Amino acid sequence: MKTAADVVVALVALLHVYFLVLEMFLWETPRTRRAFGNSVEKAKLSKVLAANQGLYNGFLAAGLVWGLWLGAPGHDIKLFFLACVFVAGVFGGFTASRKILLVQALPAAVAIVLVLAAR
């Protein structure tokens, strides 16, 4: 049986798969440019960097899925990858856009609290 913690961890993982898709495959599309506040030129110039960033988001998602797949023994793995997501979200929130605090750091923080409470 899945706990509320596992559901939220899965949602954080799915969110990072979504980021991977946006950054690796849809970076230059109008919708993604609007979401990230990029012009056509800026998106073109930053495409390789965005793809690299998307790959890292994929690694975060993979780590969270790994922790979920392991079940109870994956507790510490989930916490590690959630902490990585949280730190990246806080860093991005203070260096790139405050919106990242809500979109990335807050869901990770909620998941951390739930995973700790489920132990």
pLDDT per residue as tens digits for the range 99-110: 999 999 999 999
| Residue 114 scores a pLDDT above 90 | yes
Domain that holds residue 9: 4-118
What is the count of structural domains for the chain? Answer: 1
Tokens of 105: 């750091």
| Residue 1 scores a pLDDT above 60 | no
Over the stretch 15-32, which tens digit does the pLDDT of each residue have? Answer: 999 999 999 999 999 999
DSSP letters of 95-110? HT-THHIIIIIHHHHH
Quote the CA–CA distance of 33 and 40 in Å, as a whole number.
7
| Residue 119 scores a pLDDT above 90 | no
- Continuous H helices in the chain: 4-25, 30-36, 40-70, 75-95, 99-100, 106-118
Q: Name every residue whose Cβ is closer than 8 Å to that of residue 85 and which is 6 or more positions away in sequence.
A: 12, 16, 60, 64, 104, 105, 107, 108
